Amino acid sequence: MKHYIIRRFVFLIPLVLGVVTLVFLIIRLVPGDPVEIMLGEQASMADRAQLRRDLGLDKPYLKQYQDFLVDLGKGRLGRSITLYPGQPVIKLLSQRYPFTLELAVLSMAIALLIALPLGIVSALRPNSWIDQFSLTLSLFGISIPNFWLGPMLIIIFCYRWVWLPMPSQGGWLTVILPAVTLGLGMSSVLIRMTRCSFLETIRLPFMKTARAKGLSSRTIYLKHGLRNALNPIITILGLQFGVLLAGAVITETVFAWPGIGYLVIEAIRARDYPIVQGCILVISLTYVLVNLVTDLMYQWVDPRVSLS
């Protein structure tokens, strides 16, 4: 296990370097002049030249890349130009990331609370009414987009029934609706995955052996069955959690939730080149780290899995 972790971290270095390089190239090689995009066509030549020097875009690409790596190693991602003038990008990201983390964790909890019970019961009683209900619920959840579900929840719970505050009012209750919006969408995929994985597991010979030993149904299904069915579920959870931590752009924008996803949209609207670059870098590195944690969880859940 230790050797595997060390190897993964060693392999992680070129992967992270590749991600950093790709982010650097995408931002600079995208069609159009970023300086002209930020300042507009009416800006004077002096203003354009000054901003180009401030961003380091007047240097050769190789020198820009070298400076980018040096600044990144020192924890510097530049400063905001138009959205929050003069503010360090790393400070803005550190302020927004906890909000995205809070939303991701709560959304994941909601998805698991819905998906695991329904998936397990559906597997234990295939073709029953609860199985049909869970599969129908899953189909609706997959079909309904977040940009429609979010506003509908706001209309129902904030306008019509006034059970929750409007997103613009602030407070801890404002996280409930975006978390429910994301959690329902995630649970749709997890219900089907849990059902399929658990249904396959309970038909394996070791489950029959557990029954022959006289173990209780709770021990058989939760201790032996669920744990052996978790690996495919963990794969989906890792991918979904990576999406959430990277910033659920649409949902955060609908609810004006001050996370990474909403910051990306704000920066694009304000044409703030350094913030967009910083957000893309954080999103990319988040996927890399979440995939690493997901791989390490496989053996923790099922010791039979060989990581070597």
CB neighbourhood size of 287 (10 A): 16
End of a domain among 73, 103, 122? 73
Say yes or no: 98 and 214 in one domain: yes
Does any domain span residue 81? no
The answer to whether residues 120 and 266 belong to one domain is yes
What is the DSSP annotation of 109-135?
HHHHHHHHHHHHHHHHSTTSHHHHHHH
What the block records as the tokens of 4 is 């595997």
Q: Decide if 100 is inside a domain.
A: yes
Residue 59's pLDDT is: 83
User: Which one, of 153, 145, 161, lies nearest residue 177 by Cα?
Assistant: 153
Q: Are residues 26 and 127 in the same domain?
A: no
- Report yes or no on 139 lying in a domain: yes
For the chain of 308 residues, list the mean pLDDT of each consecutive stretch of 10.
Answer: 74 83 79 70 79 80 86 85 86 92 92 91 89 89 87 90 82 88 89 90 84 81 81 84 76 89 87 84 84 78 63
Indicate if 285 and 189 belong to the same structural domain: yes
* The pLDDT value given to residue 302: 67
Domain range holding 34?
2-73
Q: 89-124 vs 176-201: helix axis angle to the nearest 10?
A: 40
Do 16 and 68 belong to one domain? Answer: yes
Number of independent structural domains in the chain: 2
Same domain assignment for residues 105 and 63 = no
pLDDT at 308: 56
Q: Flag whether 308 is in a domain.
A: no
Q: 192 and 258, same structural domain?
A: yes
Domain closes at, from 17, 41, 73:
73
Q: Is residue 84 part of a domain?
A: no
99 and 201, same domain (yes or no): yes
Q: Are residues 199 and 237 in the same domain?
A: yes
CB neighbour burial string for 248-286, b if at least 16 within 10 angstroms, e if fewer:
bbbbbbbbebbbbbbbbebbeebbbbbbbbbbbbbbbbb
CATH code: domain of residue 167: 1.10.3720.10
The residue type found at 36 is E
Q: What is the pLDDT of residue 32?
A: 67
| 193 and 69 in a common domain | no
For residue 59, is it within any domain? yes
The pLDDT assigned to 111 comes to 92
Q: Are 282 and 208 contained in the same domain?
A: yes
Mark whether 40 and 96 lie in a shared domain: no
